[in-house]
């Protein structure tokens, strides 16, 4: 009786036990996430700071939560607005924590500012925790999981079945389902280390690198196009192949890091080490007309700082571009000091388009030995012809050419309008010289109508001159704010125009919807008279007294881009285009009696590219260059450091604005971290080595956390992109540090960490859960059962192809174009077309699918894939009806269903039951229950009956009713939740 009283007494006492709230692990994260943004040293709204105890006591009454202003404001008591203002209110648990903390006297570290956030403290190997059920642990990491479970009064789940284990491990390690032979072999293997043998086989598979390259390519923002407006193609697939190869070789993570950040700076770098630097060439590239090359390059540097700090440090240093970081110890100056590391690379200036220049960073050609031999021959011939063109004496020809242009100019007569009007409000005034000046309203679309009297036989062409004028914006010649104009169409009543040529070269005179001609006023020759010549199909006679009507239609997507001042003229010359045989920029040189040496050379070089006597050589040169291009030599984008003895530097930008230059800063790492070792130079190579220095508190933690996340659906730090004060604290901090130290001590072997996780008892648990666990730990952060979550989009496609037997295991090479819906690539700035790949390339792994940033592959985007426009650390899984519609109806998935139907009919023999079992095993990896087989066969018979009654539909789905029925069954199996889930 006395023992019973004692037990009851203990039970009554336990609820009264009250543990003190820990400021660092419980209170500070709440304040940092919800309060510091407005109430800290950076910004003290209403004069209140909550990052300093002395200041915070203005709103806190220690020991009295009900009387504390802080508590009143966060619960919304009184008439004042609830805090945090403009953000989500604190949860009941968070409010309870703060209340308890205040009631306990609001204890605060003596010097909170001196205490580093946990992530900025170098990890040390913690002692293995003591646990009650030590026999459950298969390796050290299990003890860290178990101690938390035991603390919560929970127990691990039983080990998963062999079918589940081999499918789970295969999906996680190589991204492909096991074959039926592999499943059966594992089930029959009674050796105690049978599972470890499976893991070792998968780690040695060449497909390991393909599976684990996918998350790394998200980090590296790898894509096959430049992104932004035109989104042109780029060649950088060699970088993707390098990542796959490096992972397969188990390249140590420190070397993996150094080669990507600074492989070009290693002694005598190999091609592979140069290819690796493509990591920082994966930035988007702005090719929009009129873009400032320096600002565009600066944007790339901004991206490189943000990406590098996210990938290796799990830190939001990029937030300090405009100001000191609001939450983490990174100053704006430190952001630009990091940028300086990347600001010393080689780059060349190149003209492109009509108006712009761009910086070209290095490209590495990678020919085969045969390609190199053939290219050498072709380049030798190219060099010989170029030299011949360069040294040819064309002085006499050039004199005649100049005279012909002058003569052609004299043949043109100015058209004097009888009337000039505009349809949408502009006012056209005819000047004495025949030119026409527009004023008044400037509509988004405008059409000018010019009428003139002509009694001239044999007109062969009309000319439109765009003229600058001081009354126009920026001097014209157009009417928009920059002086631009764009012409949609030009028509002369009664004249059939066969072609058009401008002083920039031929103009495509085709469909009315095409933009015909325009001038971008940012060009240095935009303020010069420009001309466009229209050539008649046959001589145009105006012999009566009627007026000739000319319509100039102007329209662009930007609006208001009409001609400001222009002039019309006509000619009867047999070669109307001759007048436009020289560029507007060089035309004034023809009038100069005395030219400087530079002007003479400029004009001579221009003529050399047009001389009739050299046309055969120029054509031959063009053909040779085309032959070089058709060799198909692979190339890839790389970084290459500029030779310099100066410390890399850059200018700080005030408020993060490119045009607001501040002080010059030099390359350095943030002070909160370990300093750059004295043995390292402050350059990119020094930065790379610093990243993987064992004193760096974050690189190893961040890397192992991302690996853990792939296996269990959540990282030990859930916010794997942010280890700072705004990120989540680790669910198992000691385990995170143990793994980080283990990673470094094992020589940074990534495969060693994979093996450690994949062979752990934690990973091998069954994934079934209970109502109690769902209520207590809905996201399985305590890991009381095995992982169970939907696969990523690339895996779902690969699993469907593998199950059906269609999958091609071909590795490496250029990106491929599997079928996708029509019209996905219809874009206004590009006529590039998606041409589906043929043969086995149609069925390659999703990793090799061409990624266009402005139009990613639709089915993978549906399953939360990324456009690769920026570094993506973790994909957020969603559930939408569109995902089910994709696996049911997408042509690629339906083709896989047809192939799966053919496969089971051919391989499983005539027995319907055996076929159904094989189909189920191929998609889910397990043998179906008897009740499940009955449902499958019942559904099959129902489908067969339908297609027998509808033979036309049967032929659309399969060759007959039987194959159509099996196809629909396969289609359903590929859409099962169990099929697209790791379990």
Dihedral sign of CA atoms 178, 181, 183, 186 in order: negative
Whether the pLDDT of residue 302 is over 80: the answer is: yes
Average pLDDT over residues 400-411: 89
pLDDT of residue 5: 37
Mutual angle of helices 891-907 and 912-924, in 10-degree steps: 130
pLDDT of residue 916: 95
Closest alpha carbon to 315 in 727, 705, 795, 590: 727
Q: What percent of the chain has pLDDT over 90?
A: 69
Average pLDDT over residues 598-627: 91
Average pLDDT over residues 615-639: 94
Cα–Cα distance, 263 to 280 (Å, whole number): 11
HEC profile of 37-93: CCECCCCEHHHCCCCCHHHHCCCCCCCCCCCCHHHHHHHCCCCCCCCCCCCCCCCHH
Cα–Cα distance, 58 to 273 (Å, whole number): 58
pLDDT of residue 510: 46
Q: Which of 77-91, 517-531, 704-718 has the highest mean pLDDT?
A: 704-718
Cα–Cα distance, 437 to 563 (Å, whole number): 8
CB of 279 within 8 A of CB of 220? yes
pLDDT of residue 42: 66
CB of 175 within 8 A of CB of 205? no
How do residues 197-254 score in pLDDT, each as one tens digit? 999 999 999 999 999 999 999 999 999 999 988 899 999 999 999 999 999 999 999 9
Lowest mean pLDDT among 478-482, 586-590, 780-784: 586-590
Average pLDDT, the chain: 90
Whether the pLDDT of residue 354 is over 60: the answer is: no
pLDDT of residue 508: 60
pLDDT of residue 11: 36
Whether the pLDDT of residue 627 is over 70: the answer is: yes
pLDDT of residue 451: 93
User: How would residue 504 be classed by pLDDT, with cut points 50, 70 and 90?
Assistant: confident
Q: Phi and psi for 566 in degrees, rounded to 5?
A: -150, 170
pLDDT of residue 532: 92
| Bridge partners, residue 500, by sequence | 507, 534
User: How would residue 177 be classed by pLDDT, with cut points 50, 70 and 90?
Assistant: very high
User: How would residue 944 be classed by pLDDT, with cut points 50, 70 and 90?
Assistant: very high
DSSP class per residue in 571-619: E--S-GGGGGSS-TTTHHHHT-SS--HHHHHHHHHHHHTT-GGGHHHHH
pLDDT of residue 115: 64
Residue with tokens 């009129």: 290
pLDDT of residue 353: 54
How do residues 834-870 score in pLDDT, each as one tens digit? 999 999 999 999 999 999 999 999 999 999 999 999 9
Q: Phi and psi for 486 in degrees, rounded to 5?
A: -140, 130
Cis status of the peptide bond prior to 84, with omega within 30 of 0: yes
Q: What percent of the chain has pLDDT over 70?
A: 95
pLDDT of residue 593: 82
User: How would residue 111 be classed by pLDDT, with cut points 50, 70 and 90?
Assistant: low
Average pLDDT over residues 65-83: 84
Cα–Cα distance, 671 to 317 (Å, whole number): 12
How do residues 557-582 score in pLDDT, each as one tens digit? 778 889 999 999 999 999 998 888 88
More confident position, 94 or 637: 637
User: How would residue 326 be classed by pLDDT, with cut points 50, 70 and 90?
Assistant: confident
Helices vs strands, H then E, count in the chain:
33, 19
Whether the pLDDT of residue 1 is over 50: the answer is: no
Q: Beta-carbon neighbour count of residue 380 at 10 Å?
A: 9
CB of 229 within 8 A of CB of 828? no
Whether the pLDDT of residue 514 is over 70: the answer is: no
User: Which residues, at least 6 apart from 975, have a Cβ–Cβ distance to it below 8 Å?
Assistant: 884, 887, 888
User: How would residue 512 be classed by pLDDT, with cut points 50, 70 and 90?
Assistant: very low
Whether the pLDDT of residue 694 is over 60: the answer is: yes
Lowest mean pLDDT among 71-80, 367-376, 381-390, 568-577: 71-80
Max CA separation in the chain (angstroms): 130
User: How would residue 591 be classed by pLDDT, with cut points 50, 70 and 90?
Assistant: confident
More confident position, 934 or 510: 934
Provide the token pair at 744.
């470094």
DSSP three-state, residue 715: coil
How do residues 426-472 score in pLDDT, each as one tens digit? 999 999 999 999 999 999 999 999 999 888 889 999 999 999 999 99
Instruction: Please state, in angstroms and as integers, the Cα–Cα distance from residue 926 to each residue in 86, 176, 843, following that order.
Output: 51, 15, 25
Cα–Cα distance, 857 to 870 (Å, whole number): 16
């Amino acid at each position: 009786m006395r023992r019973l009283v004692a037990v009851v007494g203990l039970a009554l006492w336990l609820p009264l036990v009250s543990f003190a709230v820990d400021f660092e692990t419980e209170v500070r994260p709440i304040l940092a996430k919800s309060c510091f943004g407005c109430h800290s040293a950076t910004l003290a709204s209403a004069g209140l700071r909550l990052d300093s105890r002395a200041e915070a006591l203005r709103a806190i009454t220690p020991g009295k939560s009900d009387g504390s202003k802080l508590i009143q404001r966060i619960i919304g008591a009184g008439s004042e607005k609830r805090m945090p203002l403009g953000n989500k209110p604190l949860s009941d648990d968070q409010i309870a924590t703060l209340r308890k903390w205040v009631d306990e006297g609001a204890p605060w570290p003596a010097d909170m500012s001196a205490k580093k956030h946990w992530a900025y403290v170098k990890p040390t190997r913690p002692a293995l925790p003591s646990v009650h059920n030590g026999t459950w642990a298969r390796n050290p990491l299990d003890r860290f999981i178990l101690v938390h479970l035991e603390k919560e009064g929970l127990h691990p789940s039983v080990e998963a079945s062999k079918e589940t284990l081999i499918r789970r491990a295969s999906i996680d390690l190589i991204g492909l389902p096991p074959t039926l032979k592999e499943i059966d072999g594992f089930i029959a293997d009674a050796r105690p280390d049978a599972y470890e043998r499976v893991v070792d086989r998968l780690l040695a598979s060449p497909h390991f690198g393909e599976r684990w390259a996918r998350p790394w390519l998200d980090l590296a923002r790898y894509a096959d196009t430049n992104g932004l407006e035109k989104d042109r193609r780029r060649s950088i697939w060699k970088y993707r192949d390098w990542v796959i190869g490096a992972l397969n070789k188990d390249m140590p993570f420190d070397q993996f890091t150094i080669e990507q950040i600074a492989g070009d700076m290693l002694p005598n770098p190999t091609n592979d080490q140069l290819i690796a630097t493509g990591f920082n060439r994966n930035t988007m590239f702005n090719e929009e007309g009129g873009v400032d090359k320096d600002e565009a390059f600066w944007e790339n540097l901004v991206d490189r700082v943000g990406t590098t700090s996210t990938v290796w440090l799990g830190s939001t240093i990029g937030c300090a571009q405009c100001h000191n970081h609001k939450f983490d110890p990174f100053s704006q100056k430190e952001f630009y000091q990091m940028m300086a590391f990347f600001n010393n690379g080689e780059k060349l200036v190149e003209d492109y388009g009509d108006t712009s220049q761009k910086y070209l960073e290095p490209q590495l050609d990678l020919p085969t030995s045969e390609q190199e031999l053939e290219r050498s021959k072709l380049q030798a011939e190219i060099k010989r012809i170029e030299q011949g063109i360069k040294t040819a004496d064309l002085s006499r020809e050039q004199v005649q050419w100049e005279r012909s242009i002058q003569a052609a100019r004299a043949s043109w007569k100015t058209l004097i309008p009888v009337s000039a009007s505009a349809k949408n409000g502009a006012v056209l005034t005819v000047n004495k010289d025949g030119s026409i000046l527009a004023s008044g309203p400037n509509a988004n679309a405008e059409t000018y109508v010019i009428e003139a009297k002509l009694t001239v036989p044999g007109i062969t062409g009309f000319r439109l001159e765009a003229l600058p004028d001081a009354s126009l914006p920026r001097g014209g010649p157009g009417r928009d704010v920059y002086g631009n104009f764009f012409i949609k169409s030009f028509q002369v009543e009664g004249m059939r125009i066969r072609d058009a040529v401008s002083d920039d070269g031929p103009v495509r005179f085709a469909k009315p919807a095409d933009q015909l001609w325009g001038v971008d006023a940012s060009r240095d020759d935009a303020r010069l008279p420009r001309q466009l010549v229209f050539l008649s199909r046959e001589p145009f006679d105006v012999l009566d007294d009627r007026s000739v009507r000319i319509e100039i239609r102007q329209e662009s997507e930007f609006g208001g881009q009409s001609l400001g001042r222009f002039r019309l003229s006509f000619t009867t010359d047999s070669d109307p285009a001759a007048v436009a045989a020289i560029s507007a920029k060089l035309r004034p040189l023809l009038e100069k009696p005395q030219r400087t040496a530079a002007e003479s050379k400029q004009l001579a070089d221009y003529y050399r590219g047009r001389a009739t006597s050299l046309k055969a050589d120029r054509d031959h040169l063009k053909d040779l260059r085309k032959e070089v291009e058709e060799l198909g030599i692979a190339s890839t984008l790389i970084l290459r450091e500029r030779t310099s003895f100066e410390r890399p530097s850059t200018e700080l930008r005030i408020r993060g604005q490119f045009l607001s230059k501040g002080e010059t800063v030099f390359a350095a790492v943030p002070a909160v971290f370990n300093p750059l070792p004295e043995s390292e130079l402050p350059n990119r190579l020094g930065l790379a080595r610093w990243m993987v220095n064992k004193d760096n508190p974050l690189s190893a933690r961040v890397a192992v956390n991302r690996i853990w996340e792939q296996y269990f659906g959540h990282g030990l730090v859930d916010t794997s992109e942010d280890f700072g004060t705004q990120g989540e604290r680790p669910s198992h901090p000691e385990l995170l540090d143990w793994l980080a130290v283990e990673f470094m001590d094992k020589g940074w072997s990534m495969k060693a960490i994979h093996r450690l996780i994949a062979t752990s008892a934690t990973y091998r648990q069954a994934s079934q859960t209970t109502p109690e666990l769902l209520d207590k730990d809905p996201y399985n952060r305590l890991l009381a059962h095995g992982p169970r979550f939907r696969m990523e989009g690339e895996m779902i496609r690969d699993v469907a192809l593998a199950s059906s037997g269609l999958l091609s295991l071909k590795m490496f090479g250029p990106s491929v174009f599997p079928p996708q819906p029509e019209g996905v690539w219809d874009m206004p700035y590009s006529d590039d077309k998606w041409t589906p790949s043929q043969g086995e390339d149609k069925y390659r792994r999703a990793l090799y699918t061409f990624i266009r940033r402005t139009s990613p592959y639709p089915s993978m985007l549906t399953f939360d894939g990324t456009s690769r426009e920026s570094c993506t650390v973790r994909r957020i899984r969603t559930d939408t009806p569109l995902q089910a519609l994709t696996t049911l109806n997408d042509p690629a998935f339906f083709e896989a269903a047809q192939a799966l139907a053919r496969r089971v009919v051919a391989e499983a023999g005539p027995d319907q039951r055996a076929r159904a079992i094989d189909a189920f095993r191929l998609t889910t990896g397990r043998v179906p229950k008897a009740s499940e087989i009955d449902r499958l066969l019942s559904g099959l018979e129902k489908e067969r009956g339908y297609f027998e009654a509808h033979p036309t539909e049967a032929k659309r789905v399969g060759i007959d009713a039987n194959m159509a029925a099996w196809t629909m069954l396969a289609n359903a199996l590929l859409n099962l939740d169990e099929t697209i889930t790791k379990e």
